[in-house]
């Protein structure tokens, strides 16, 4: 990660100083990094006396509820359930901090409200290709494990913290460790020297990593592991090009009683097969298939997502969508589409 421009840190610090009402927001279907960096930011801002609120576009998974308890609970608005309150909050904020996404379109129904809002808009994110013109200040860095790590490095620079992780509020430290741990899949990918340095400093500051691991990896519903078995047994296909894919349809979601977050990490599993270069996981949602793509070094999940799946993200981990019925009408068509476009993608 490059060192920050001193002036950007000073500008951020000045904005925080001047603002009274600050709203933090993250992407739709928030994952551990979005929730971790979001709650970390809000708990830090609250500790310096700000009226800080975290707006989620939609529901967060139950395995991450532990970050949203106590004082934090009063500082959360889920827009999907309280659209008016969420929009009113965004409109009346002096400052809006967007975490773990690169463009307002990733905030779902909040897109317009965020675009129109008058407050100072700050981006802190690690995805490729941020919409810089939408923000007055951008901290965009792809050479980092997670938004949580990027936020950690920014907080370390602020007066009052001065490179001492022990000065972070304990909830902030725990949330940062959680975000980094989930985005690296527990140190399996995107780990930089700075990532381990952060983990070390946070452990030293007293973060209980055993507790975090227990919450995020041992807190799933039984239905998740049953579904995993079903998908791997019945639905996994591996093409001659080395593309593994699984498609989870609405009927199966209903049958297994699957909740938001229950399929987290499924897309990574087929990468353990020797000849698999890329893994694609599709999950049916109201009017679309949500797409997750992971690849091994040498194959770009990002380019494939951008060109064929209306998305993007990171070089080896990306997401996107296939609209129903415009892109594909059903599971059969989705499977045919994946086989056709990945064959083109990997053979030119």
Note whether 120 binds Mn ion by CB under 5 A: no
> Which CB, 300 or 342, lies closer to Mn ion?
300
Rule CB under 5 A: is residue 171 a binding residue for Mn ion?
Answer: no
Is residue 36 within 8 Å of 94, Cβ to Cβ? no
Tell the smallest beta-carbon distance from residue 150 to Mn ion (Å).
Answer: 9
Comparison of 82 and 189: residue with beta carbon closer to Mn ion:
189
Nearer to Mn ion, 167 or 306 (CB): 306
Other Cβ atoms within 10 Å of 246 Cβ, number: 24
Q: Which is nearer to Mn ion, 126 or 283 (CB)?
A: 126
CB 324 within 8 A of CB 287: yes
Stretch of 49-57, 73-81, 147-155, 265-273 contacting Mn ion, by CB under 5 A: 147-155
Q: Indicate whether 125 belongs to the interface with Mn ion (CB under 5 A).
A: no
Determine the angle formed by the axes of helices 193-204 and 170-183, rounding to 10 degrees. Answer: 150
Q: How far is CA 57 from the centre of its chain?
A: 12
Nearest residue to Mn ion by CB is 33
Q: Using the rule CB under 5 A, is 183 a contact of Mn ion?
A: yes
Give 146 or 178: the residue with its C-beta nearer to Mn ion: 146
Q: Are 179 and 33 in contact (CB under 8 A)?
A: yes
C-beta closer to Mn ion: residue 50 or 314: 314
Q: Is 264 in the site for Mn ion (CB under 5 A)?
A: no
In whole angstroms, give the CA distance from residue 116 to residue 162: 35
Virtual CA dihedral for 121, 125, 128, 133, nearest 10 degrees?
10
Question: How many helices (H) and strands (E) are present in the chain, helices listed first?
Answer: 12, 12
Hey, is 106 helix, strand or coil? helix
- Of 298, 308, 300, nearest to 340 by C-alpha is 308
Q: Is the peptide bond before 56 cis (omega within 30 degrees of 0)?
A: no
Q: Pick the stretch among 10-18, 140-148, 192-200, 207-215 that binds Mn ion (CB under 5 A).
A: 140-148
Contact 158, 110 (CB under 8 A): no
Binding mask 68-107 toward Mn ion (x if CB under 5 A, else -) reads: --------------------------------x-------
* Contacting range for Mn ion; rule: CB under 5 A; set: 45-53, 135-143, 182-190, 204-212: 182-190
**What is d(CA 110, CA 102) in angstroms, rounded to the nearest whole number?**
14
Site string for Mn ion, 25-44 (x = CB under 5 A): --------x-----------
* Least Å from the CB of residue 101 to Mn ion: 9
Of the pair 185, 221, the CB lying nearest Mn ion is at 185
User: Which chain residues interact with Mn ion by CB under 5 A?
Assistant: 33, 100, 146-147, 183
């Amino acid at each position: 990660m490059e060192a920050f421009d001193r002036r950007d840190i000073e500008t951020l610090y000045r904005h925080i100083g001047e603002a009274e009402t600050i709203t933090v927001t993250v992407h739709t279907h928030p994952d551990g990094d979005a929730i971790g960096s979001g709650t970390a930011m809000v708990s830090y801002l609250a500790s310096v006396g700000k009226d800080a609120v975290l707006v989620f576009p939609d529901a967060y998974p139950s395995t991450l509820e532990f970050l949203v308890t106590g004082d934090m609970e009063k500082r959360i608005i889920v827009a999907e359930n309280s659209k008016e309150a969420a929009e009113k909050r965004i409109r009346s904020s002096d400052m809006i901090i967007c975490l773990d996404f690169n463009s307002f379109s990733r905030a779902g129904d909040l897109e317009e409200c965020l675009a129109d809002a008058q407050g100072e808009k700050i981006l802190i994110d690690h995805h490729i290709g941020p919409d810089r013109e939408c923000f007055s200040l951008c901290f965009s860095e792809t050479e980092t494990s997670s938004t949580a790590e990027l936020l950690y490095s920014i907080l370390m620079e602020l007066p009052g913290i001065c490179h001492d992780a022990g000065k972070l509020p304990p909830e902030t430290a725990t949330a940062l460790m959680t975000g980094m741990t989930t985005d690296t899949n527990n140190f399996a990918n995107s780990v930089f020297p700075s990532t381990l340095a952060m983990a070390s400093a946070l452990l030293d500051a007293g973060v209980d990593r055993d507790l975090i691991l227990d919450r995020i990896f041992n807190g799933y519903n039984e239905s998740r592991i049953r579904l995993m078995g079903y998908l791997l047994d019945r639905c996994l296909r591996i093409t001659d090009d080395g593309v593994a894919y699984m498609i989870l349809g609405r009927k199966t979601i209903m049958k297994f009683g699957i909740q938001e977050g229950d399929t987290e990490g499924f897309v990574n599993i087929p990468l353990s097969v020797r000849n698999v270069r890329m893994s694609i996981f599709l999950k049916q949602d109201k009017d679309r298939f949500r797409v997750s793509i992971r690849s091994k070094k040498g194959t770009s999940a990002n380019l494939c997502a951008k060109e064929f799946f209306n998305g993007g993200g990171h070089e080896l981990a990306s997401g996107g969508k296939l609209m129903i019925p415009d892109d594909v009408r059903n599971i059969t068509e989705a499977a045919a589409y994946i086989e056709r476009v990945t064959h083109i993608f990997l053979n030119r």
